[in-house]
Amino acid sequence: MLLRNRLLFRNLTSFLPSPSPPPKSASFTLSFNKTIAYSTHKLPESKPQVAASRATKQPMSERARFAKTVLFVPPGVDPEDVTDEMILPGSNIVLGPYAGHSQIKEVEFVKSSGRAMDCPKDNRPEFAILGRSNVGKSSLINVLVRKKEVALTSKKPGKTQLINHFLVNKSWYIVDLPGYGFAKASDTARTDWSSFTKGYFLNRESLVAVLLLIDASVPPQKIDLDCANWLGRNNIPMTFVFTKCDKMKASKGRRPDENIRDFQELIRENYKQHPPWIMTSSVTGLGRDELLLHLSQLRNYWDQ
């Protein structure tokens, strides 16, 4: 069952050339305009309503057709039935019938592991959080769980290079992985990181998705693109979580939404369907509830 579900998710993020890429000038227009404008989200219509609205629906416009190629449409939703209200604010993520029970009530540190084979063996679904050092990983974990000690635990000396498992609501795991791309790390250290973390990605059956954190306050970085491409090539489902989106006056001249668009342009051609992405800020709390809802729909589908 788990394997079947994982395979289905893999299909949603398959790393294949897009058969007919849409014109570059139109890219992400709809998702950015709409998502930034929203201040609240709505759950999608129930199935009977969706069926009714389909009967009266107008033919899809060119723009809507394009939007569907960049949206993440979860299991249980027919792409034809997607409406603007179903898109989570600040993201390309469509909310489907599996979303729910998203809030974190309790979280406990379970263990630090040096190898994938040492990780907890109870098969609860898990999300791995990965990103460059200083991307804002600890800050985001703190915001998600609303408990400072959690991310501090994994920053303790000796635990930063380990796989740290946190059990949420006694039912699923947040997994804090070592940051990559330390400015002063030697090539040898990077290689060690790679083989260690790659072992986890390639062998962890209960991994629902990787949350790949990308700093939206700086232009796309090669190391992040390489990481995304490696995950894609290996069919590891991922969600791009853009951090520091509050930094609207970025020092290097480009705004977060421009950096995000540039990043997506650089990876878009590799995907048949674009992976889910979401804008967050640990300073303002932007994207927190939306990200938790997204995780809930992936998790609940996995669990069924």
In the bound complex, which residue of the shown chain has the CB atom lying closest to ligand GDP? Answer: 136
C-beta separation of 145 from 105 below 8 A: no
Which residue, among 298, 303, 290, has the nearest Cα to 103 in the 3D structure?
290
**Would you count residue 160 as binding ligand GDP (CB under 6 A)?**
no
Least Å distance, CB 218 to ligand GDP, is: 11
CA angle 248, 222, 269 (to 5 degrees): 90
Distance CA 220, CA 218 (A): 7
**Would you count residue 134 as binding ligand GDP (CB under 6 A)?**
yes
Q: Is 193 helix (H, G, I), strand (E, B) or coil?
A: helix
**Would you count residue 137 as binding ligand GDP (CB under 6 A)?**
yes
Q: Using CB under 6 A, which of 13, 35, 243, 264 touches ligand GDP?
A: 243
Part of the chain binding ligand GDP (CB under 6 A), chosen from 13-21, 69-77, 134-142, 288-296: 134-142
Distance CA 246, CA 127 (A): 24
Least Å distance, CB 230 to ligand GDP, is: 19
**Would you count residue 164 as binding ligand GDP (CB under 6 A)?**
no
DSSP 251: T
Distance CA 209, CA 110 (A): 19
**Would you count residue 248 as binding ligand GDP (CB under 6 A)?**
no
**Would you count residue 154 as binding ligand GDP (CB under 6 A)?**
no
Distance CA 165, CA 77 (A): 31
Least Å distance, CB 39 to ligand GDP, is: 19
**Would you count residue 75 as binding ligand GDP (CB under 6 A)?**
no
# residues near ligand GDP by CB under 6 A: 16
Chain contacts with ligand GDP (rule: CB under 6 A): 131, 133-139, 179, 243-244, 246-247, 281-283
